[in-house]
Structure formats: structure tokens, C-alpha cells
Amino acid sequence: MYNQNMNNEKNNEKSLETSDESITTVETATDTAATDSTAATDKAKTYKSFFFSRRSAWLVVCTLTLGALVFNLLRMFVFRVKVTLPDYEWSSTEEFNAKNFQTLSADKNGDITLLQITDLHLYNGTCSFDRKTFKLIEQLVKDSEPDLIVVTGDAIMTLNNVKIMKKASIFFDDLCAKYESKWCLVFGNHDAWGYGDKTALADVLSKSKYCMFQIGPTNLSSDGHTLTLGNYAINVVDSTGNYKCSLVMMDSNERGVTKEEGRYAPITPATIEWYEWFINGMTAANGGEVVPSLAFFHIPLAESKFMLADTEMGTEGFIEKVCSSDLNTGMYQKMVELGSTLAVFNGHDHQNSYQNYYDGGNVLLTNCVTCGYFAYGAKEYKGGRVIKLNVNQPELVFETYSIFAD
């Protein structure tokens, strides 16, 4: 009986131990499940927090970007900086007076040197690219010793274009004071792509001490296009004051607005009429004898593209395609007809430095490489173009050649 009781007690103890173990196992499983559930919840919270933090960051970035875009668009198209300029409504019936145009005197030997530079694409006037551009320009001026520096467009390419044009103006004025020169400018297709339009830029240029820029007629634009401004001329005279050569500066327009024009707009018909009026006026002022002229504007004529149509890309002076308007308004034909303009000097296509005659004509078509380091183009195609004139010969003698950065 005693043994039987003992066995029963042992069996009861084992049952209790087994029960305790079962309880412990259940508690452990419950704790593990609870831990896993907590971890899963924490992970979900972390993922949710990460998702919403990334989403919030993207919302902030998108909001700031959209805000900046709207701000710049408003400044460019609604609150754009404009200056009221003297309104010069030119007419082809207007009486011509050569004395209304500035003059540049050749030396006693009849020599005069021009330096063409183009497509500076200044960004802020102080960045490393702009400093290299300024350094190159000074080296070109030092080497060529020009009487006049001609900037054929795209001097600047920035939203703060009026501010940077002021910096450029100060730079050129200081440069001209140092090297006893003068400078002038025609507008390109990028100069007015900013907070200020051409009136604001023209206002800056007209206040420059050494700049020969003139505002010119204010009514030469075509419908739907940006304002055409800065059509003027500088007459080269000999030691006795006789007119020997006219340097004709023209605004070649900006972007095309019709399918026929393509990417770039052509020189406006009104500008061509003004050119004809000027050339005929100078002929009359010179006793009926045609005064030779050189023309400077930014975007090449269609004839430059035609001239190089059969030339292999990569040939010396022809590194990239000619980007002209698809619409030919007849500027080249008018030059041939009037028989005054001996050469055309363009920029725009940064790596081209060609010079040649189109279809056996007598108007030399040339292009100048960029001098801007913020502009596209390989560094070996940075430089300018020198134009040397002698006005003491029976007929005007000129030569032109490209110069490049070291």
C-alpha cells in the first residue's frame, strides 16, 4: 500500500512537471509571438516613416523647383526689366545724314585693325569659366592691338543678363582704357534670354565710356518676333576725314516662330531695307562713289550653309554644321546687288572659322570661333578673328585670319 502511494505521488509529481513544462513552453511561444509581432509592427512603422519622409522630401523638392520655375517665368515674361528708349521710327524715305553715324580714324599710314570676338556666354562674371574668358580676351587684344573690338553676339547667357552686361561693360571699358581701343556689340540669340530685354541691355551699352554701340531704329522687328535693336554703322575715315569704309552692325534676330523659319529667325525685311538705305546714303555722301563696307551680325546667312554643303565636316574651319534660318529673306542678294559689302563676319557656330566665297560671288563669308569657356566647343577652338584694313590705297585693302588660344 505504501509503495502504491509512493508511486502515485511520483506519478503526480511527473504530471505536475510535465504540466509546468507545457505551461513554460506556451509562455515562451507566447512571448516569442509577442516579440515577433512587436518587431513586425516596429518595422512597419519604420517603413511607413521612411516612406512618408521620402515622400515629404520629394514634395518639398518639387514645390521648390516649381516655385523657382514660376518665379523665373514671371520675371522673364511678366515683370521683365525694360527701359524706355528714345523712339526712333525709321523710314526709307528719311533724309540720310552721314554725320549721324560715328567715325573711326585710321592712322597716318591708313592702317586700322579690328578684332572680332564672339559667343562669350558669360554666366556671372566671376566664375572660373568667365575668368578664363576674360583672360583669353585680354591676350587676344594684347596680341592683335586692335583699334576696335567687335563683339558679334551672345556676350552673355544668364538670367541676370542686365547685371552681367554691366560687368562685361566695365571689363571692356577697362580693357580699352589700358590698350587704347574701343569696342562695340551686336546682339545674338542668347543675350536677351534673361530678366532684361534688349532695351535694358542697350541702355547699359549706351552708357559705356568706350563702347560705340548705337540703339538705332526701333521699328525694324517682324510680327511675332523679339525686338530688333542695335542696327547702326561706324564709318572709317582717313587722316583727311574722307569716308573709306563702313562697318555695318545688324541684329540678326533670335528664334524662329514659324515652320518656314525653322529654329532661327532670319534678318528681318525691314533690316534689309535699312541696310539698303544706309549703303545708298553713304554712296550719295561720297559723291556717288560706293563706299566699301564690312557687315557684322551674329547668325550666319543661308548662303554660308549652301557654300559648305559639299564640304566634308571636319575640314579646316568647318567643324560643325552651319545653323542659319531656313527662311532666306534676301540679305546676301541685296549685298551683291548694291556692290558695297566685301565681307560678312558671323559667330553663333562656336567651332567654325571658315572664310570663303559663295558660288563665285564677291562677298567673303566668314565665321569666328567662340572665346567663351562657358560656351560649348573644344578648347582648341577658342579664339577670335583679326581684320586688317588699309584705307590709303586706291581700293580698300583688307585681310582677315583666325587666331586661337595658346
CATH code of the domain containing 310: 3.60.21.10
pLDDT at residue number 222:
85
Quick: pLDDT tens for 168-184.
999 999 999 999 999 99
Do 149 and 60 belong together in one domain? no
Q: How high does pLDDT run on average in the chain?
A: 87
Closest CA to 148 of 208, 103, 207: 103
Half-sphere exposure of 352 toward its Cβ, with a 13 Å CA cutoff? Answer: 25
Cα 150 to Cα 20: distance, rounded to the nearest angstrom: 101
Do 102 and 221 belong together in one domain? yes
Maximum separation of any 2 CA atoms in the chain, in Å? 156
Least confident among 88-92, 313-317, 402-406? 313-317
Do 35 and 68 belong together in one domain? yes
Do 184 and 124 belong together in one domain? yes
- Report residue 4's pLDDT band, with 50, 70 and 90 as the boundaries: very low
Q: Which residues pair with 248 in a beta bridge?
A: 233, 295
Do 240 and 342 belong together in one domain? yes
Listed residues 60, 79, 98: the one ending a domain = 79
Closest CA to 252 of 178, 192, 340: 192
Do 319 and 230 belong together in one domain? yes
Do 128 and 204 belong together in one domain? yes
Do 228 and 165 belong together in one domain? yes
Q: Three-state SS for 269?
A: helix
Q: Three-state SS for 132?
A: helix
Do 112 and 42 belong together in one domain? no
Quick: pLDDT tens for 123-167.
999 999 999 999 999 999 999 999 999 999 999 999 999 999 999
Do 386 and 319 belong together in one domain? yes
Cα 308–Cα 314–Cα 317 angle in degrees, nearest 5:
65
Do 105 and 171 belong together in one domain? yes
Quick: pLDDT tens for 182-226.
999 999 999 998 999 999 999 999 999 999 999 999 999 987 787
Domain that holds residue 201: 83-404
- Report residue 270's pLDDT band, with 50, 70 and 90 as the boundaries: very high
Cα 266 to Cα 327: distance, rounded to the nearest angstrom: 6
- 202-209 contact pairs (CB < 8 A, 24+): 202/83, 202/85, 202/229, 202/230, 203/83, 203/85, 204/162, 204/165, 204/166, 204/169, 205/165, 205/169, 205/230, 207/169, 208/169, 208/172, 208/173, 208/183, 209/173, 209/177
Listed residues 79, 94, 121: the one ending a domain = 79
pLDDT at residue number 121:
98
- Report residue 26's pLDDT band, with 50, 70 and 90 as the boundaries: very low
Strand spans (E) along 50-175? 102-105, 111-117, 148-152
For the chain, the domain total comes to 2
Do 146 and 186 belong together in one domain? yes
